[in-house]
Structure 1
């Protein structure tokens, strides 16, 4: 289900995607003796699988994030209640990413699944941010 506002945060990226690591506390996939906070939902999918936007909005970031996300797109949207929220799509392969300041529609292709940044395999890392804080969301 596409997002309509920050409180309606379920996102189902499509049939080729399988939910894996969820939002919240998890075992660090690189150091199994360590627990970490995971600020989003991971969806495993074959490399190159098309990623669609969860909500209509303006692209405020489209590029490589050296902090661990790799190739990333961030879209700024306005919810049905008038509030601003952001959706983040990380670890992309770098193909089909929209230009900064582009307007994208809900369901529009905004990239392809990759394995860039701090990643253990091809997947989409998806986050919803409201006032610069991540919020939990359910896969749909």
Structure 2
């Protein structure tokens, strides 16, 4: 199984808090348009989070890179699936979540150009 591994900054208090918050929040979320958490591990100084691998990378590489331009039907699909992920986070999950860093580099694409919103390092929780 291919995976993506995120390494959190080594040894900093902020990095530890970021890691704990991200693991707690992401492990409780389930939506078809959110990147899936596979696992995590840590020791005193290093923190790793393991996510499903997205073979088509991030949206920004398709918008600003050397890839062929996306067809409008694909762009529409990406927009509606991103909106679906945000609706889930803001209104449908048990504890509402504000992502606060939604940008094309955090919108990941699987092999069918399905959206998986990722990079939850700056989550903010609030009660609905």
TM range (shorter): under 0.3
Query: In proportion to residue count, which structure has more helix?
Result: 2
Greater Rg by CA: 2
TM-score by length of 2: 0.25
